Structure 1
Amino acid sequence: MPEVVEETDPEGVDYGWVMQTTFVLTIVVGAPVVAVVFALSGVAVPTWTAKASFALRVGAVVWFLTAVCVYLYARRLDVATDDADADAE
């Protein structure tokens, strides 16, 4: 097995973690949200193009809100970790 070439120890928010978590949560949370919004909205979407457009518009809002929430969580977690490290010293 080859040796690990790169390792990161980010200071502050780990944006890689934020991006990966946003991706997964958007799929897990976004698909049901889009389906529920579609069912409850009563919007007529007769073609597959219209359905895809609807899903993209709703999914974009879900993605944006998920990204902001994940970032704020990561920042709060980082601040809490920094405070705990400062108290330990």
Structure 2
Amino acid sequence: MPDVVEETDPEGVDYGWVMQTTFVLTIVVGAPVVALAAVVSDASIPTWTAQAAFAVRVGAVVWFLTAVCVYLYARRTTVEPGEVSADEE
């Protein structure tokens, strides 16, 4: 007997999609941003601990901004039940 595959049909913003997209975009965008910030900043980062702390601080800002942007995009492009999308007009 095959396992039951559950599906959801969210009304409004699909938060699962927002979380997955935020995760991927944060890695894709965040790694170059952290590297660029480390090169551009004049701060000396001598130890591995200092480097990790720097990456976490910059990465947290990138993650937060990415999450807000992805959420706003999802909310703007979500068509509520009963609404007509701009493409259908």
Range into which the TM-score falls when normalised by the shorter chain: 0.7 to 0.9
**Partner residue in 2 for 1:15:** 15
How many residue pairs match? The answer is: 87
Q: Which runs of 5+ in 2 are unaligned?
A: none
Q: Which moved more, 1:1-10 or 1:44-53?
A: 1-10
Higher helix share: 1
1:22-78 CA-to-partner distances (Å, cap 9, x unmatched) read: 000000000000000100001111100000000000000000000000000000000
* TM-score, structure 1 normalization: 0.87
**Partner residue in 2 for 1:83:** 84
* TM-score, structure 2 normalization: 0.87
- Taking only the aligned residue pairs, the percentage that are identical comes to 74
Q: Which runs of 5+ in 1 are unaligned?
A: none
Q: CA RMSD in A?
A: 2.3
> d(CA) in 2 for partners of 1:12 and 1:42?
45
> d(CA) in 1 for partners of 2:39 and 2:72?
30
Amino acid at match of 2:59: G
- Partner of 2:84, secondary structure, is helix
